[in-house]
C-alpha cells in the first residue's frame, strides 16, 4: 500500500476541516513529502540494521542500497519534523497551534521489512559462496603420476571434488548408492541382533519388544535423514537422548545404551561428520545416568540442565580442537542445544503411551505401584494387615537379594508387595491375620482348608485385573507358590486316614517361575513365612530353616524352568540368611530394679 499518500490525504482532510491556510497547508505537505522521500522505518528494525551493509529499498523491480544514516527511524523522523517547524514564522506557528493537532501522528514507517525477499536474497548469496580454494586454469596439470602429494596439491584436489559435486551432484551409479546404503542398514541391524543376543537373548522371543526396538531405530535414522535434507540445523534441535531414555525405561542400561549408540552411527553418514554423533552419545550417556536420580517431577528440569551442560561442553571441546580459539562460537547452536534439552523432558511422558501400545511396564509405573498408599495396597492393609506386614517383609528381603545377584530389584519389590493380594477375600484363613486363640481351620477338614488357602492365588489374579495391575506383576501372584503342596494340610489329611495318593487337592495350580525375579520372590516368601514358625531365633535355627526351604524348592523341581544359576541361588540363600537373622535379632533383657529396704 502507498502509505505516504494515505497519510497525506488524512492530513489534508484534517487540515481543511481546521481551516488551515492554503499556503501553510502546502508548506506542511512539502515537509511531509521531504521526510517520506528519505524513508521512515520503525525503531526496532532501525536498531537491527548493519551499519556497514545497510539495507536495500525495493520499489517495483528496482533496488536501491542505502546506509542507515540516509533514512529516518520513526523517532528521528518526528524529531526532524518538529525541528523544521521551529523555523516557521510566528504567524505560521500560531496557526498550527490554533488547530490543536499533533502533526507528527501523520508520520508512520513507509519502509516495510519483506521477510520472504530478504530470505531469497540471503539464499542466493549463500549459493554464490565458494567452499573451494585456489584457481586451476584450463589444461593446467594439477599433479603427475608418481609425484608426491603435498598439502597444497591435496587442497586443490579436495576443492576440485567439492566443486564438481556441487555443480554436477552424485556422479556414481544410483543403484550402487542405494545398495551401499542398504548394506549399512543391514550391518546396523546385524549389530543390534548381536547386542540383543549377547545381553538379553529372551527379547528375541518377544515380538513386541523387537518391534519397539526396530521402531526406534527406523524413527532415528529415517527422521534424521529426512530433516537433514530439509534443513541441516534442525538436527541440533532433535532430542536424541530421549531415545535412550525410552529404552532404559523398559530394558537394562547395559542393553539400552549400546543400542542407542548403534542407532546414532548413521548420523555420521548423514552429516558426513562425527561431531553430532559423538555429542549425542555423550548427552545420552549423561541423560541415562542423571535420570536414575532425578527422573521425576521438577527434578527432570535439573536433569535437562545437566544434559544441556553435556551438550555445551562437548560442542566447545570440538570447537577448540578444530579452531583452537573461542572466537566464532555460535550462540544459535547453544540455543538449539537448550531447546533440545527441554524437548527431551517434554517428550519423555510419551513413555506412558509406549507402555500402553506395546504392553510394557516402565520404571515410572513400577515406582507408582511400589507406593503403599495406592488403592490396592491400602485395601490389603485394611482387610488383611498381617498379610500386608508379611508382604512388606518379603519385599525388603526380595529387593536386597535381587540387588546382590544383578536382578531387577524394583520389580522384585513390587512383585512381592502384590504376591498375596488374593488374601483380601478370606484374610481370616491365613495365620498372619488370625486373632490369638481361634483358628477357623479347626472347623474344616484338611482338604477344605487346603482348597481355601490354594484359592488365594486365583483370587489374586482376579484382584490384579480389578486393580489394573500389569501382567508382569500378575505373574508373581501366579508363580510365588509354583506347583508346591500345602504340606501342613496334606500331612494332616494323611494322619487322619486320608488317601496319600490324593495329592492334587493339596497342590497349588500356579505356574513355575521362569525369571530370576520370580525365583527371588518365591524363596523370600517361603523363607519369611517358614521362619515365623520358629520357636527359637538363633543363627543356627534360622540358617537351617533357610537352607531347608531353598533345598525343598530345588528338589521339588520348582525352579526347573527358571533362568537362574546355582551360584545365584547360593547368593540368594546367603542374603536371605543374613537378612532374616537381622530381622529376628536378639534383644537385651533389662533387669528389674531392686527395691531399697
pLDDT the model gives residue 32: 87
pLDDT tops 70 at residue 223: yes
Helices 385-405 and 409-418 pack at an angle, to 10 degrees, of 160
- Judge contact between 176 and 228, C-beta under 8 A: no
CA distance 326 to 342: 26
pLDDT the model gives residue 544: 94
pTM for the model stands at 0.64
Q: Where are the beta strands (DSSP E) in 217-339?
A: none
List the beta bridge partners of residue 59.
Answer: 62
- Judge contact between 282 and 290, C-beta under 8 A: no
CA distance 570 to 511: 23
What does the pLDDT look like over 494-511, one tens digit per residue?
A: 998 889 899 999 999 999
Section 504-532 average pLDDT? 94
Domain range list for the chain? 3-117, 174-360, 369-583
pLDDT tops 70 at residue 587: no
For cell 529516518, name the residue.
72
Instruction: Give burial (CB, 10 Å; 0-12/13-18/19+) of 153.
Output: middle
Selected from 3.90.550, 1.10.10, 1.25.40, 1.10.3210, the CATH number assigned to the domain covering 369-583 reads 1.10.3210
pLDDT tops 60 at residue 128: no
Section 175-181 average pLDDT? 84
CA distance 96 to 85: 9
Residue of higher predicted confidence among 312 and 44 = 312
Percent of the chain with pLDDT over 90: 52
pLDDT the model gives residue 168: 47
What does the pLDDT look like over 297-337, one tens digit per residue?
A: 889 999 999 999 999 999 899 888 877 777 767 777 788 89
Of the listed ranges 41-55, 130-144, 357-371, the least confidently predicted one is 130-144
pLDDT tops 80 at residue 561: yes
Q: Which residues contact 33 (CB under 8 A, 6 or more apart)?
A: 4, 8
DSSP H or E run through 326: none
Amino acid at each position: 500500500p502507498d502509505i505516504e499518500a494515505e497519510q497525506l490525504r488524512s492530513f489534508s482532510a484534517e487540515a481543511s476541516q481546521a481551516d488551515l491556510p492554503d499556503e501553510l497547508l502546502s508548506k506542511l505537505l512539502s515537509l511531509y513529502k521531504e521526510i517520506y522521500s528519505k524513508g521512515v522505518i520503525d525503531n526496532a528494525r532501525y536498531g537491527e540494521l548493519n551499519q556497514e551493509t545497510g539495507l536495500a529499498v525495493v520499489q517495483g523491480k528496482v533496488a536501491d542500497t542505502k546506509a542507515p544514516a540516509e533514512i529516518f527511524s520513526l523517532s528521528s523522523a518526528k524529531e526532524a519534523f518538529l525541528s523544521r517547524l521551529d523555523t516557521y514564522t510566528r504567524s505560521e506557528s500560531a496557526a498550527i497551534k490554533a488547530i490543536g493537532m499533533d502533526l507528527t501522528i501523520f508520520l508512520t514507517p513507509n519502509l516495510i521489512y519483506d521477510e520472504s525477499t530478504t530470505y531469497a536474497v540471503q539464499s542466493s548469496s549463500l549459493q554464490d559462496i565458494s567452499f573451494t580454494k585456489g584457481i586451476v586454469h584450463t589444461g593446467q596439470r594439477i599433479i603427475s603420476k608418481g609425484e608426491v602429494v603435498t598439502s597444497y596439491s591435496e587442497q586443490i584436489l579436495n576443492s576440485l571434488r567439492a566443486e564438481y559435486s556441487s555443480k554436477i551432484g552424485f556422479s556414481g551409479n544410483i543403484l550402487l548408492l542405494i545398495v551401499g546404503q542398504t548394506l549399512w542398514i543391514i550391518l546396523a541391524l546385524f549389530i543390534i541382533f548381536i547386542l540383543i543376543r549377547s545381553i538379553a537373548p529372551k527379547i528375541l522371543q518377544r515380538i513386541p519388544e523387537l518391534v519397539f526396538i526396530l521402531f526406534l531405530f527406523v524413527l532415528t535414522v529415517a527422521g534424521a535423514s529426512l530433516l537433514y535434507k530439509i534443513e541441516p540445523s534442525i538436527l541440533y534441535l532433535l532430542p536424541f537422548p530421549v531415545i535412550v531414555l525410552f529404552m532404559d525405561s523398559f530394558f537394562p542400561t547395559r542393553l539400552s545404551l549400546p543400542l542407542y549408540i548403534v542407532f546414532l552411527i548413521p548420523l555420521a553418514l548423514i552429516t558426513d561428520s562425527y561431531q553430532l554423533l559423538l555429542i549425542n552419545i555423550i548427552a545420552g550417556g549423561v541423560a541415562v545416568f542423571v535420570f536414575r536420580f532425578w527422573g521425576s517431577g521438577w527434578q527432570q528440569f535439573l536433569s535437562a540442565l545437566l544434559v544441556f551442560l553435556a551438550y555445551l561442553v562437548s560442542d566447545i571441546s570440538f570447537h577448540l580442537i578444530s579452531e583452537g580459539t573461542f572466537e566464532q562460537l555460535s550462540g544459535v547452536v547453544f540455543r538449539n542445544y537448550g531447546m533440545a534439552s527441554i524437548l527431551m523432558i517434554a517428550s519423555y511422558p510419551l513413555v506412558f503411551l509406549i507402555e500402553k501400545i506395546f504392553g510394557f511396564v516402565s520404571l515410572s509405573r513400577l515406582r507408582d505401584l511400589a507406593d503403599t498408599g495406592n488403592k490396592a495396597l491400602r485395601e490389603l492393609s485394611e482387610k488383611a494387615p498381617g498379610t500386608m506386614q508379611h508382604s512388606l517383609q518379603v519385599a525388603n528381603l526380595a529387593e536386597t537379594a535381587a540387588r546382590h545377584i544383578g536382578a531387577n530389584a524394583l520389580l522384585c519389590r513390587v512383585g512381592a508387595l502384590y504376591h498375596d493380594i488374593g488374601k483380601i477375600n478370606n484374610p481370616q484363613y491365613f495365620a498372619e491375620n488370625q486373632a490369638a486363640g481361634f483358628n477357623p481351620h479347626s472347623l474344616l477338614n484338611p482338604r477344605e482348608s487346603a482348597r481355601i488357602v490354594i484359592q488365594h492365588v486365583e483370587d489374586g489374579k482376579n484382584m490384579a485385573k480389578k486393580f489394573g495391575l500389569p501382567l508382569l506383576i500378575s505373574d508373581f501372584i501366579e508363580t510365588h507358590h509354583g506347583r508346591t503342596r500345602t504340606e501342613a494340610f496334606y500331612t494332616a489329611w494323611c494322619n487322619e486316614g486320608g488317601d496319600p495318593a490324593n495329592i492334587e487337592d493339596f497342590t497349588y495350580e500356579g505356574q513355575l517361575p521362569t525369571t530370576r525375579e520370580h525365583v527371588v520372590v518365591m524363596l523370600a516368601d517361603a523363607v519369611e513365612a517358614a521362619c515365623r514358625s520358629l520357636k527359637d531365633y538363633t543363627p543356627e535355627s534360622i540358617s537351617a530353616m533357610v537352607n531347608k526351604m531353598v533345598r525343598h524348592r530345588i528338589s521339588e523341581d520348582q525352579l526347573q524352568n527358571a533362568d537362574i544359576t546355582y551360584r545365584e541361588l547360593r547368593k540368594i540363600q546367603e542374603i536371605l540368611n543374613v537378612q532374616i537373622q537381622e530381622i529376628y535379632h536378639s534383644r537385651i533383657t533389662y533387669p528389674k530394679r531392686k527395691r531399697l529396704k
